[in-house]
Structure 1
Amino acid sequence: MPAFLLIDLECTCDDPMFERDDMETIEIGAVLGELTDEGFLPVRQHSFYVRPLIHRQLSAFCTSLTGIEQHQVERAPTLAETWHAFVHWLGDAPVRGWGSWGKFDATQLILECRLKGLDFPLEALRHLNIKQLFARKRGHRTGLEMALQLSGLSFAGRPHCGVDDAMNIGRLLAQDALLRQAVLDRLPD
Structure 2
Amino acid sequence: MFSILTLKASGSRSVKPLILVACRHYKVRKKPIDIHAVFHPRNISRQPQLYDYFLVLDFEATCEKSNQAMNCFQQEIIEFPVHKVNSNNFETEAVFHSFVKPVINPQLSNYCSSLTGISQVDVDNSLELSSVLEDFDRWMTNNVVTSEKSFIFVTSGDWDLKKMLPTECRDKNIQMKSYFTDYVNINKSFAYTMGKWPRFGKGRIPAMLALLELSQIGEFHRGVSDCQNIISIMKSLADKGCVFKPEENT
1:85 aligns with 2:96: no
> Structure 1 residues 12-21 or 132-141, which shifts more?
12-21
What is the match of residue 176 of structure 1? 237
Query: What residue identity is the alignment partner of 2:235?
Result: A
Matches within 5 A, 1:137-152: 137-138=193-194, 139-142=196-199, 143-152=204-213
Take 1:60 and 1:124, find their aligned partners in 2: how far apart are those partners? 31
What is the match of residue 62 of structure 1? 112
Displacement, 1:182? 2.9
Q: 2:168 aligns with which of 99, 112, 118?
A: 112
TM-score normalized by the length of structure 1: 0.88
Name the SS of the counterpart of 2:126 in structure 1: coil
TM-score normalized by the length of structure 2: 0.68
Take 1:20 and 1:103, find their aligned partners in 2: how far apart are those partners? 21
Matches within 5 A, 1:2-151: 2-16=52-66, 17-19=69-71, 22-36=74-88, 39-90=89-140, 91-93=142-144, 94-106=149-161, 107-123=163-179, 125-138=181-194, 139-142=196-199, 143-151=204-212
Query: What residue identity is the alignment partner of 2:197?
Result: H
Distance 1:12 1:99, change over 3 A: same
RMSD of equivalent CA atoms: 2.3
Checking the alignment, whether the CA contact within 8 Å between 1:34 and 1:41 is kept in structure 2 is yes
What is the match of residue 159 of structure 1? 220
Name the SS of the counterpart of 2:157 in structure 1: coil
> Structure 1 residues 132-141 or 112-121, which shifts more?
132-141
Checking the alignment, whether the CA contact within 8 Å between 2:79 and 2:98 is kept in structure 1 is yes
> Structure 1 residues 52-61 or 115-124, which shifts more?
115-124
Name the SS of the counterpart of 1:48 in structure 2: strand
Q: Unpaired segments of 5 or more residues in structure 1?
A: none
Larger gyration radius, structure 1 or structure 2: 2
- Deviations along 1:46-101, whole A, 9 cap, x unmatched? 32100001110000000000000000100110000000111122225145210100
Q: Unpaired segments of 5 or more residues in structure 2?
A: 1-50
Checking the alignment, whether the CA contact within 8 Å between 1:7 and 1:166 is kept in structure 2 is yes
Aligned residue pairs, count: 185
Query: What residue identity is the alignment partner of 2:157?
Result: G
Greater relative contact order: 1 or 2 (C-alpha under 8 angstroms, separation 6 or more)? 1
Displacement, 1:41? 1.4
Take 2:173 and 2:73, find their aligned partners in 1: how far apart are those partners? 14
Distance 1:118 1:180, change over 3 A: farther
